């Protein structure tokens, strides 16, 4: 269901298509209420009537709303229109990690900066009992200022009980002591 520039979803004005994936399309849009550019993610038309897909999309909105971290894209709104449900998110200007890797190999310093920010985002999610489950270079955006944002929590797994959710002491991304020394089995 490609939306043309000028189309409206709620009060949001579509400006251009940013990209498309297996389940949805992402558009650059304008929020006239707050006078800012945003990203809008919609389900593909073929999936907009499937209850399981809509439920997964709503779950993605809830997951994003539960996360508040500098390295995770912020959700601003979730709405249903005649075209189906859509997410309104922070627009991250820049390239995906996949695009960055395709352009040229990053330096060791840049690689470490990117990896640290990804690990911090995942740690924040794990602290809330959320596992991403679709982490790949195409789902990581590097903003023009170098800040990394993890995107697309559509396949995230939420642990319901406190016993099964990671804590600060057993989070899979928290592998350093308070002094910064690497523990056995640490990833970074």
Q: Is 176 helix (H, G, I), strand (E, B) or coil?
A: strand
- Tell me whether residue 31 is one of the annotated catalytic residues: no
Cα–Cα distances (Å) from 50 to 56, 87, 154, in that order, read: 10, 17, 15
For the record, the structure tokens of 14 come out as 């579509």
The answer to whether residues 79 and 85 touch, using CB atoms and an 8 Å cutoff, is: yes
Q: Is 64 helix (H, G, I), strand (E, B) or coil?
A: helix
The answer to whether residues 1 and 83 touch, using CB atoms and an 8 Å cutoff, is: yes
Q: Which of 77, 123, 134, 152 is catalytic?
A: 134
Active-site residue set: 134
């Amino acid at each position: 269901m490609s939306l043309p520039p000028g189309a409206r979803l709620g009060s949001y004005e579509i400006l251009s298509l940013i990209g498309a994936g297996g389940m949805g399309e992402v558009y650059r849009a304008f929020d006239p209420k707050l006078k800012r550019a945003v990203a809008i993610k919609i389900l593909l038309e073929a999936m907009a009537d499937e209850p399981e897909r809509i439920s997964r999309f709503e779950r993605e909105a809830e997951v994003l709303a539960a996360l508040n971290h500098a390295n995770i894209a912020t959700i601003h709104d979730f709405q249903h229109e005649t075209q189906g449900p859509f997410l309104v998110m922070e627009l991250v200007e820049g390239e995906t990690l996949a695009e960055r890797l395709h352009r040229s190999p990053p330096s060791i310093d840049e690689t470490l900066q990117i990896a640290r920010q990804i690990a911090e985002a995942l740690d924040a999610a794990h602290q809330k009992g959320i596992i991403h489950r679709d982490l790949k270079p195409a789902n990581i955006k590097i903003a023009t200022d170098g800040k990394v944002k993890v995107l697309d929590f559509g396949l995230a797994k939420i642990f319901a009980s406190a016993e099964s959710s990671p804590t600060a002491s057993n989070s899979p991304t928290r592998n350093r002591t308070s002094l910064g020394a690497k523990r056995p089995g640490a990833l970074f």
